[in-house]
Structure 1
Amino acid sequence: MPEVIFPLDSSKKFEDQEKVGHNRYHPEIPPVATVKQGVSVRIDCREWFDGAIVNDDSAEDILNAPLLTVHKLSGPFAIEGAQPGDLLVVDILDVGPIPQEDSGPLAGQGWGYTGIFAKSNGGGFLTEQFPDAYKAIWDFTGQKATSRHVPNVSFNGIIHPGLMGTAPSAELLAKWNKREGDLIATDPDRVPPLALPPEPQSALLGGVPESDFDRVAGEAARTAPPRENGGNQDIKNLTKGTRVFYPVFVDGANFSLGDLHFSQGDGEITFCGAIEMGGFIDLRFEVIKGGMDTYGVSENAIFMPGTVDPQFSEWLAFSGTSVTLDGKQHYLDSHLSYQRACLHAIDYLTKFGYSPEQAYLLLGAAPIEGRLSGVVDIPNSCSTVYLPTSIFDFDVRPSASGPFQIDPGIGAPKASAG
């Protein structure tokens, strides 16, 4: 087994560990360890809420999820020899739930969760149609996930980190804060908000000295969105065997990661749409000197996906166009067309006995594929969502005999208020 350079004790909170990570981005957060190039290392990761979401049949914890505390990231790690302008090469050698802990109170100990967040607390891709908080618990058996809250389905997980990235420079951080602040100013009272400004409350800044803490906390960027450094990209294909190339903005790169997922559909459409869990990840790092200029990779990550995804031979695909539910035409709006495709899939699954919320949770957690199928035919963008048919234990295809009726079981728990 590779050397564990960031261990986590499941009996302790994230802040009480031997090494303390962070939940904001700032160039002055010091590295917790330095890693040599070419050496394999293991990093433990806590799920993004550090145990606030529990394995029960209630969604009150989703309703009251402490969004100011996320993401709980392991790191940062300085990579020996990395300098601004380089490309950091990250190989994912292995990734999985918490090893040898197949039961317990923490997500990753044999189970994980998917949540529909309340519109008043984060929202989601379809928050106008699903404004209330719901939850689904998924149990792990090897690589397979099943749920008492979404019955009659099972699928192999595509285990991956939702968030990996390098630290921003001071200049890049200022750019983030300026452009996101300008966006917020266009509609400052919007619910959910247009963006998340720096928030000192609940900031976790690793080894930042006490004398600098308040200043850094007031400047540090939230980890919710993907940005030039990678960050919270939520790409389900960053799994075992993946190689990622990240721009380097500070000495050492100061790489950090977290937000592990047992499985996820393209888009993580419920916001907490993956099957969230804690676990481990084995990595190896290399550096391409001057790689940002050499390859023109200055404000994005590029990657070679792994090859361990489950293989499906049959899909049922749903299309959507850039027309709102009330019939308003939008011009080539691919975000809207993917929303409509997902809503069509949800409507279809309700014909088999699922509630709309069960169907929505399923699309967030199962390995669906989202595609931009047409982006040139004015005025309608066409997006599609591909649903693998083999994840169901009944025939989900249309037929002359009509849809099979499942027993929806106890259903997806709903919070008492939103």
Structure 2
Amino acid sequence: MDTKFAYYQMVRHILKATKETVHLGGFSHLLPPALRVDSGDTVDVETYSGFYVYDKAPPAFLTPEFVDICQNLAPERKVAGGPHLLTGPIYVKGAEPGDVLEVELHSISPRLPVGFNAIRSGWGALPQKFTQPALRFIDLDLDNNVAEFPKGSGIKIPITPFFGILGVATHDEHRSSIPPGYYGGNIDNRELQAGARIFLPVFVSGALFSIGDGHSAQGDGEVNVTAIETSMNGTIKLKVRKDLHLKAPIADTPTDIITMGFGNTLDEALQNAVSSMIDFLERFVGISAEDAYVLCSLAVNFRISQVVNSPQKGVHGMLLKSILPKNVL
């Protein structure tokens, strides 16, 4: 093995979240890269959440860097109308349209001992019943890895951190960070914890990957619009896969293959998730479409990812890797 090449492939970068390296509200291929990496490089990345609530936040939620972002983010880094602060974009050398970007999630951890949850008027699964906006800051017990909610109730929620948004740029100049889609984005899939990988189709040179929307805990559905929204640290590995060609994101965990479907209704999202799983089983496992359809009914669990990222709801299908005859990704 060429030792120089082996060393080259093991480069590790640090991408801190500052007003020069984050963007607000969406994705755009016009944004200059915050970092350039080679395929196979690892990045220690910082993210912040809560741009629009920082002025109501307790001291533990605030750092000087975050306040600087909230007060001094340049207009050109405010891409669209979404509420999310994203770190990036990261330019991955060699990534070209038609390729796939593999994002391996090595570690994910809250960077502050507090997160927030917000009910927004007109949003959520029950907007007619819960009409008034409400903002709650929720303490995180990072020593015991739990969050008590409501405070004093004795109800202890396990902290299971993940990034709600993992996405690449498309040819849209100003794409909101709210809806997910074929580019990834605001997937809000709680299965994508440390140890998982997500595979994203590439649409522009360099992929222009951005990450954020950290969640310390979330139930499937994310029904009141938000999780425990948390500023988050992570370590990720980015790899260009020229041997894969995908129309929509797929993922895997140590135990499952995950396909994703998005649509304006849950029915449509479910149909797309099933169709994606059938396509996966045809292409990567080598069985017929009809047999794949039957297998989906026998062995795939379809779950609601989220119902609140208007106009796209999300459903994901989970297939146990242990039932497959070989590793396929």
For residue 154 of structure 1, report the CA deviation from its aligned partner.
0.3
Q: Look up the match of 1:146.
A: 148
What is the aligned counterpart of 2:250 among 280, 299, 302? 302
Q: Look up the match of 2:119.
A: 116
Aligned residues: 232
Q: Look up the match of 2:242.
A: 289
| 263-272 or 139-148: bigger deviation | 139-148
CA contact (8 A) 2:149 2:157 kept: no
Between the aligned partners of 1:40 and 1:79, the Cα distance in structure 2 is: 11
What is the aligned counterpart of 1:70 among 83, 86, 89? 83
SS in 2 for 1:276: coil
For residue 137 of structure 1, report the CA deviation from its aligned partner.
2.8
Q: TM-score under structure 1 normalisation?
A: 0.51
Greater Cα radius of gyration, structure 1 or 2: 1
For residue 49 of structure 1, report the CA deviation from its aligned partner.
2.3
Give deviations 1:122-148, integer Å, cap 9, x for gaps.
x21211111112233322122211135
Aligned residue runs from structure 1 range 16-415, under 5 A: 17=20, 19-49=21-51, 51-55=54-58, 68=81, 70-98=83-111, 109-119=112-122, 123-142=123-142, 143-149=145-151, 151-168=153-170, 170=171, 173=172, 219-272=173-226, 274-289=227-242, 291-292=244-245, 297-298=246-247, 300-305=248-253, 371=303
CA contact (8 A) 1:5 1:33 kept: no
The 1:38–1:71 alpha-carbon spacing in structure 2 relative to 1, beyond 3 Å, is same
Between the aligned partners of 2:141 and 2:176, the Cα distance in structure 1 is: 34
CA contact (8 A) 1:136 1:150 kept: no
Identity %: 28
Supply the RMSD in Å over aligned alpha carbons.
Answer: 2.9
Give deviations 1:135-187, integer Å, cap 9, x for gaps.
3332212221113547231021210000010110x2xx3xxxxxxxxxxxxxx
CA contact (8 A) 1:267 1:370 kept: no
Between the aligned partners of 2:97 and 2:162, the Cα distance in structure 1 is: 27
Tell me: higher relative CO, structure 1 or 2? Use CA pairs within 8 A at least 6 residues apart: 1
Between the aligned partners of 2:176 and 2:189, the Cα distance in structure 1 is: 19
Between the aligned partners of 1:55 and 1:118, the Cα distance in structure 2 is: 23
SS in 2 for 1:269: coil
CA contact (8 A) 1:162 1:260 kept: yes
CA contact (8 A) 2:12 2:41 kept: no
Amino acid at match of 1:276: E
CA contact (8 A) 1:136 1:147 kept: no
Amino acid at match of 2:106: L
CA contact (8 A) 1:85 1:248 kept: yes
Amino acid at match of 1:277: T
The 1:271–1:150 alpha-carbon spacing in structure 2 relative to 1, beyond 3 Å, is farther
Between the aligned partners of 2:56 and 2:184, the Cα distance in structure 1 is: 26
Q: TM-score under structure 2 normalisation?
A: 0.64
Structure 2 residues without counterparts, runs of 5 or longer? 1-10, 60-79, 256-264, 269-300, 305-314, 316-329
SS in 2 for 1:82: coil
Structure 1 residues without counterparts, runs of 5 or longer? 9-13, 57-66, 99-108, 174-218, 308-331, 336-368, 373-382, 384-418
